Structure 1
Amino acid sequence: MPTSVQAKPRRLGAILGLLAFAQMIIAIDYNIMFVALPDIGNDLGFSAQNLQWVISAYSVAFGGFLLLGGRATDLFGRKNMFLFGLFLYAASSVAGGLATESWLLVAARVVQGLGGAFLAPATLSLVVTLFAEGKERNRALSVWGGAGGFGMVLGAILGGLLTDWFGWQAVMWVNVIAAAAALIYGIGLLPKTAKASTKGFDLPGAVIGTVASTLLVFTLVNGPEVGWASSTTIGSLIGAVVLFAAFIGIESKTRAPMMPLRLFSNRNVTVGTTITFLFMATFGAYAYFLTQYWQVVQGYSAWATGFAFLLPSGCVLIGTVAAGKLMNSFGARKTLLIALAVGLVGTVALALTMTQESSYLVIAVPLIVLSLGQGVIFTAMFAAATTGVADEEQGIGSGIAQTGQQIGGAVGLAVLIAVAATAAGGETTDPAQLTDGILVATWATAAGIALTFLATLGLKKPAATQVAAGDSTAAPNAVTAAATEAPATPAPAVTERV
């Protein structure tokens, strides 16, 4: 069984820095591609509808394999999966940078998604298990989330600069450098981690669950392109439903399930995963439409578009850093509700001010408000979703929450593109019609944020009064709920699991 030893503050700080850097790599990889999309489409011959697969191929693989990546983290060690994910990132980025055909780039993005599916849950579970639930973890998650926000800023700038100066291939090569550096640094810095679980590997569940997840995401992403009534869409949807039913049957009977179904009895896991899904389906997917607005409607260059993203991305960074303090004061639930309300106001204001002729200054204030809310939500939703999950299951717990995040990004992007295309009459080059489509997508995003607000109300409230009254049966839930809602008490000394 794993043991705990007192961690050296310097070493723990360096490890947190490495984990934050890994999160930054993931954020850079997501944001850097948006700015490069028009050049990629022109160079490799993507159609306007197929171009989304540069983003969606990554999301489908990432979302489809996250459960497997999360469980592998628990079974084979967090360090091992962390390093394996970085290796896949670096190798696939080399392949992507050398791609001369559209399918080669899409294939490279699929492997990048696989890398993310192993790297992301390993990174988040390391953060969660190294820092005690409460103030310690909230501060660590702020650093982790702040690195993601910084990655968005850096990704937006690098996407524009590198595309203009060296061509779109450079946005792939930057991943090679970053992932390789983190890989080399991590080999020596991270302690050897024992298996967090020794119950065995659920091979049937792993295979069927992964195929089911991937098939579902493919269906939802591909449906708007080929038609919801097409044989491909209907067949893949039926296949996904059948496989998920089989997966649930396997997980309910096996002694060592890949995804223990009891985790969903924790309301914070269920609601938190719903929040991560809706967050990426709205805030996460909307960056695509900002790119279209600035580059196609207003004629910005790739370089100018990168700097246009600097303001909103910088505000996301501020929000992620502020989230830790807000959670310590108000709890994760109230922090999420406040941030969602702020984000909704910003999105509605953006829809009311965005026109074909709007200057950057006109939409700057709505973008600031929207992005501040987005940054706070990003950190707080993971704090909520991982509350109350045992250390030995933090890998799969993180994988479940991040599966919602990645599937939400793929589904949200596909749905919003379909909505925008319908509103624009299928026109993707006429600025006036494209603006109409973007505005409808903005209103749809606002509706999705409102739905997220309602879902967040389902997070547990504190049950401290029950504990104080001596209700021993309420105590376990009260601990979980208090971490989600109430300001945390001082955390115990940080321990490092080795």
Structure 2
Amino acid sequence: MGSDSRLVNRMLVVVFTAQFLVALDISLVNIALPSIQEGLGFTESNLHWVVNAYLLTFSGFLLLGGRLGDVFGRRRVLLGAVVLFGAASLWAGLATHAWELGAARAIQGLAAAAISPVALALITVNLSGGPVRARALALWGAGGALGGAAGVLLSGLLTEFMGWRWVMLINLPIVAVLLFAVLSGVRESRAEHRPRLDVTGAVLVTTGMSLLILGVLRGEGGGWTAPDTALLFVFAVAILAVFVLVEHRAPEPLMPLTLFTRRAVLGANLFGFLLSAGQLAGFFFVSLYLQRVLDYSPALAGAAFLPFCAGTVVGLRIAMRNLERLGPRTLLLIGGLTGAAGLAWFAGLSPEAEFFTQLLGPSMVCSVGIGVSFVAMGAAATSGVPARDAGTASAVLNSSRQLGGSVGLAVLVTAAAHVTSSHDGDMVAALAAGYSTALALAAVALAAGALLAVIVLPRSSSEPSDVQRGDEDGTDTPDAGMADDRGSQADTRPVKTRAESC
């Protein structure tokens, strides 16, 4: 197939591994938290920072991380971020004090904020359409969906059999694979006219997003009507409003507002927000249900997510085979409603549920739907985006997903706690009722996302793909073109409207 084809295959390894690593670390520590608390002396009040330190820096710096790749070169930024992530993982695994682990997790999130958007931008810039682009989007979706499921699985197994430190150290071999793949499979690409970095916009959006996420976390833990929570939201909204005004007037904005004039981009981000709310709730509440209601051990609870991994692969393959034929709009509807059906099925679990009769079915249905959704969402979110803004568009999608997961989970945790506290039965029955309510609401969120996507996304894309014309308008010049599935250079011919969304 030629050297260019081999280069494409290596780039696909980068896309999958990068997204897998980022998603893995979001869910990897959940089951290990009690062991981490005992090992490093975290208090009940500060244990949440093991999760939230990562979450805050990841969410806050996503837009800046994506733009850095556009400005300074995607290969260079990706290599630096992966090295930083590996060093932070090593520090986390060797930490002897609580503050060290918190700081290391924050640095992991900072590095992930560059890794994730650059991975999706590689697809946007280097692959113009056809089966290879569909396969790349499938692998990007696979990395996100499987990383989240594998994180829950590995968290239980590693904690029980090897100790909590391996929950952090398991990243190192993945980082090594990713570094090798980047060095051998990614050619540098940068804008021919390198835009100036919008420092003012970067400071505003990073501060605003961090305060917004902090407000959500504070609302979950201390009450949504508490004065300090309300103040965080007021400051966050005010700063983000100023950010929008600055971007509107900036000659080279960090986030071009014209991205949202593309219906495909807008619809994909709305869907991504609600998808993450449902998906993260599914992982979180099903994991709690298995351990606190059905009395599964951490290892067994992790192993129970294996069918979810298998179903996700099935969904990704379905989407990959049908993306060009059906388009993102139809696949988002099918995938979103299927995933919502699986979450609704989970909501009907009883406190005496058996795995093969009541857990296996919803696991497969939910995961197939989410697998289909990830591919279609990535395709729509980058449809027709200029190559110079590829990293930014990718970062916007990741920001929408991260914000949706944070807000959705916080709201659903509050709803579950309210139902549990007002339940008249014993504690197990009360917990089951709370978790079921949260899963039902997660199903509603995902179904709403599917319907919104259908309303907002165009039936067929009429937007030109600026990525394909990057060399003509001087907006982006890769050092070398990527190959399509026949080993030739990236196709510069006009692509059919349906394929532009792919």
TM range (shorter): 0.7 to 0.9
For residues 24 and 440 of structure 1, what CA distance do their matches in structure 2 show? 30
Counterparts in 2 of 1:266 and 1:135: CA distance versus 1, 3 Å: same
Percent sequence identity over aligned pairs = 34
Q: How does 1:26-37 map to 2 (within 5 A)?
A: 26-37=22-33
Cα contact 2:275–2:336 (8 A) shared by 1: no
The answer to whether structure 1 residue 477 and structure 2 residue 477 are counterparts is: no
Contact 2:11 2:181 in 1 (8 A): no
1:355 partner amino acid? S
Q: 1:413-432, aligned counterparts within 5 Å?
A: 413-425=409-421, 430-432=427-429
Q: Which residue of 2 aligns with 1:70?
A: 66
Q: What TM-score do the two structures reach when normalised by structure 1?
A: 0.87
Corresponding residue for 1:402?
A: 398
- Tell me if 1:458 matches 2:455: yes
Q: Distance between the aligned counterparts of 1:7 and 1:253, measured in 2?
A: 44
Counterpart in 1 of 2:372? 376
Structure 1 residues 42, 392: closer, same or farther in 2, change over 3 A?
A: same
Shift of 1:384: 0.9
Alpha-carbon distance change, 396 to 142 in structure 1, aligned in 2, over 3 angstroms:
same
1:89 is matched with 85
The residue type equivalent to 1:449 in the other structure is: L
Of 225, 238, 242, the residue aligned with 1:242 is 238
**Residue 383 and residue 50 in structure 1: after superposition, are their counterparts in 2 closer, same or farther (change >3 A)?**
farther
What corresponds to 1:259 in structure 2? 255
1:356 matched to 2:342? The reply is: no
TM-aligned CA distance change 1:7 to 1:159, over 3 Å: same
2:108 equivalent to 1:122: no
Inter-partner Cα distance in structure 1 for 2:339 and 2:274: 13
Q: Are residues 1:276 and 2:272 paired? A: yes
| Secondary structure in 2 matching 1:458 | helix
> What is the correspondence of 1:303-342 to structure 2 with a 5 Å cutoff?
303-342=299-338
Q: How far did 1:478 drift?
A: 7.5
Residue 338 of structure 1 deviates from its aligned partner by 0.8
Q: Secondary structure at the match of 1:371?
A: helix
> For residues 45 and 154 of structure 1, what CA distance do their matches in structure 2 show?
27
CA contact (8 A) 1:63 1:404 kept: no
Q: In the superposition, relative to structure 1, how do residues 462 and 294 fare at CA in structure 2: closer, same or farther (>3 Å)?
A: closer
Aligned residue type for 2:136? A
For residues 144-293 of structure 1, what are the structure 2 equivalents within 5 Å?
144-195=140-191, 198-293=194-289
* SS, match of residue 30 in structure 2: helix
Q: What's the CA shift string for 1:11-42, capped at 9, x where partnerless?
A: 22122212222222223223322332343345
Tell me the CA shift for residue 7 of structure 1. 7.0
Partner of 2:8: 12
Cα 1:188–1:137 change in 2 (3 A) is closer
Paired residues of 1:7 and 1:495 also in contact (CA < 8 A): no
Q: 8 Å contact 2:10–2:181 — kept in the other structure?
A: no
Shift of 1:355: 1.5
**What value does the CA root-mean-square deviation take over the aligned residues?**
2.6
SS at match of 1:257: coil
What is the identity, as a one-letter code, of the residue corresponding to 1:451? Answer: A
Query: Does the CA-based 8 Å contact 1:60-1:407 persist in structure 2?
Result: no
Distance in 1, Cα, partners of 2:168 & 2:46:
19
Residue 225 of structure 1 and its aligned partner are, at CA, apart by 1.1
Q: 1:273 to 1:449 in 2, by over 3 A?
A: same
Confirm or deny: 8 A CA contact 2:255 2:392 kept in the other structure: yes
Q: Which amino acid aligns with 1:477?
A: E
| CA displacement, residues 403-461 of structure 1 (integer Å, 9 cap, x when unaligned) | 1011111112211111111111199x932221121011111111211221221123333
Q: CA deviation at 1:177?
A: 2.6
Q: CA deviation at 1:494?
A: 4.4
The 1:419–1:56 alpha-carbon spacing in structure 2 relative to 1, beyond 3 Å, is farther
Q: What's the CA shift for 1:56?
A: 3.3
Aligned counterpart in structure 2 of residue 60 of structure 1, from 33, 38, 56: 56
Q: Which residue of 2 aligns with 1:468?
A: none
- What is the count of residue pairs matched by the alignment? 470
Are 1:142 and 1:322, in contact at CA under 8 Å, matched by a contact in 2? no
Greater Cα shift, 387-396 or 220-229: 220-229
SS at match of 2:189: coil
Residue of structure 2 in register with 1:301 after alignment: 297
Please give the alpha-carbon distance, in whole angstroms, between the structure 1 residues aligned to 2:284 and 2:41: 19
Gaps of 5+ in 2: 467-483, 493-502
- For structure 1, which segment, 94-103 or 279-288, has the greater mean C-alpha deviation from structure 2 after superposition? 94-103
Paired residues of 1:146 and 1:320 also in contact (CA < 8 A): yes
8 Å Cα contact 2:91/2:104 also seen in 1 = yes
